[in-house]
Amino acid sequence: MAEVLSQSQIDALLNAARSGGMEMSRQEETPEKKYRKYDFYSPRKFTKDRLKMISGVFENYTRIINSRINGLLHTTCEIAVESVEEQRYYEFSNALSDGDVLALADVEVEGKPSGEESPVLFHFSTALMLNMMDRLMGGEGDNSESLPSGYSFTPMELKLYESIVKDLTGILGGSWENYIDLNFVYRRVETNPTLVQLIGLDETVVIISISIKFSNVAGRMSICLPGMMLTNIFTRIAAMNQAGRGSGENNSDKIMDILRDSDLEITAELGRTQLTLQDIYYLNVGDVVDLGHPISEPIHLYIGGQPWFSGKLGTQSGSMAVKIGETNRIQRREEK
């Protein structure tokens, strides 16, 4: 049975409606939904599917460099992809300090230079790189002393920096092998990237942030992929996929071209009979074995153990030969 309101309750509801109290309570119950701001001046170039694909590529890359670093530095570490974001290059550049070092690499697509001037950029946090250098030289990676702000690498440390980056750059192409043949070639290191315009400030880039954790230090490896380079790579991948779908129409012709040059053994069977082992033991040169096959009847030609043709036995140019008369396999193939 429905609840019946008293006159006092009805008056209270009417008073609340006149004063606006009910509207305030509804607003408190349903907070305003927040929407992400969209920059129409610089719209996004890559869809979520493209970014998800890049994330999968670098997930594979982290597994490769994990075993590589463990073998190179004789230690264990944890490596994971933290984020894959599309940004403007100035957002990446503004986060760099004067003492940071960037490694530059060029991309070769299917064995040929991509033709893009914008390089791929690799950045390692200073504490992480010094720890890796110490381990590479046989140390324990001790970074107990706090690093001063704006720490500058020495010439010897830059050589070690190049050695580590070359090793990690060269294996990046293997992460793309499921999609396209890429090769990343180390170019040089830039010790003061804030004063050099490597990429246009408003150019779209994709930043991959990878966390690397050792037992006594944790840092970040950032990879900056130019947007134009990625666009060309995605265009090539789409073209390859499209060509792969349409190539099935000519596969039969290619297969037949290969089969035409194949060697097959053809066996002509004159007849069949059964002999005892004693009869075979007493066979001599000049003996005649009755095959039970009249010379006027056709013989069978076998290909791969199956009777394909029937023909007539004879001679040609002093050699025994078989003249093909009928094809036995056509009717069976049509029935299948």
Q: Is the dihedral of CA 238, 243, 244, 246 positive or negative?
A: positive
Phi, psi of 146 (to 5 degrees): -70, 135
Looking at residue 291, the DSSP 8-state letter turns out to be -
Tell me, what's the pLDDT at 15? 76
Domain membership of residue 43 (yes or no) is no
The verdict on 180 and 119 lying in the same domain is yes
Both 96 and 221 in a single domain? Answer: yes
* 2 in a structural domain: no
Of 196, 212, 241, the residue at which a domain comes to its end is: 241
Is there a domain that residue 3 lies in? no
Structurally, the chain folds into a number of domains equal to 2
Predicted pLDDT at 336: 47
Q: Would residue 31 count as lying in a domain?
A: no
> What are the phi and psi torsion angles at 32 (to 5°)?
-70, 135
User: Are both 233 and 266 inside the same structural domain?
Assistant: no
- Do 189 and 305 fall within a single domain? no
Q: Measure the CA–CA gap between 106 and 125, rounded to whole angstroms.
A: 22
d(CA 228, CA 177): 20
Structural domain boundaries, residue 286? 262-335
Nearest-CA neighbor of 322 among 335, 307, 304, 336? 307
Contacts of 126 (CB under 8 A, 6+ apart): 99, 100, 147, 151
> And the tokens for 301?
């030609």
226, 271: one domain: no
Integer Cα distance of 190 and 208 in angstroms: 19
Look at residue 122 in the predicted model and tell me its pLDDT: 92
The answer to whether residues 268 and 223 belong to one domain is no
Tens-digit pLDDT string for the chain (336 aa): 456 667 777 777 777 777 765 555 555 555 666 665 655 556 677 888 889 999 999 999 999 998 888 888 888 889 999 999 998 888 888 888 877 889 999 888 876 666 556 889 999 988 888 888 888 888 877 765 677 777 888 889 899 999 999 888 888 888 888 888 888 988 888 887 777 777 888 888 999 999 999 888 888 999 999 988 888 888 888 888 776 655 545 577 778 887 787 788 888 888 888 888 888 888 888 888 888 778 778 888 888 778 888 888 888 888 888 888 888 755 454 444
Are residues 314 and 201 located together in one domain of the fold?
no
Within a domain: 5: no
What are the phi and psi torsion angles at 213 (to 5°)?
A: -120, 120
Give SS3 for 86: strand
Q: Give the C-alpha separation, 163 to 142, whole Å.
A: 20
The model's pTM is: 0.60
Which letter does DSSP use for residue 3 in this model?
P
Q: Does 313 share its domain with 189?
A: no
pLDDT, position 333: 46
Round to whole Å and give the CA distance between 12 and 139.
78
